[in-house]
């Protein structure tokens, strides 16, 4: 890939473990995963914004209008 073999990757992982500690590694992995997922979604996603209200919002609005009439 980038000329990195297994020994180089292990050394990099050990350095990361020393810097951040074992407790923070799951948080860092989760953050990276969310970032990658968000980036993929943004690049592959639709350009249009959906502004149609959901069924729940329509029902809530109808109930509020009925309350105001009474």
> Going from the N-terminus, what domains does the chain have, and what CATH number goes with each?
1-44 (1.20.5)
pLDDT at 40 over 80: yes
pTM value is 0.44
pLDDT in tens, 2-37: 688 888 989 988 898 898 888 888 888 899 899 999
pLDDT value of residue 47: 64
Full DSSP string of the chain:
--S--HHHHHHHHHHHHHHH-TTTHHHHHHHHHHHHHHHHHHHHS-SS---PPPHHHHHHHHHHHHHHH-
């Amino acid at each position: 890939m980038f000329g990195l073999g297994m020994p180089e990757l292990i050394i990099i992982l050990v350095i990361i473990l020393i810097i951040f500690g074992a407790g923070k590694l799951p948080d860092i992995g989760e953050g990276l995963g969310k970032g990658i997922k968000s980036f993929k979604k943004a690049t592959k996603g639709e350009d249009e914004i959906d502004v149609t209200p959901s069924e729940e919002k329509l029902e809530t609005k109808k109930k509020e209008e009925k309350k105001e009439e009474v």
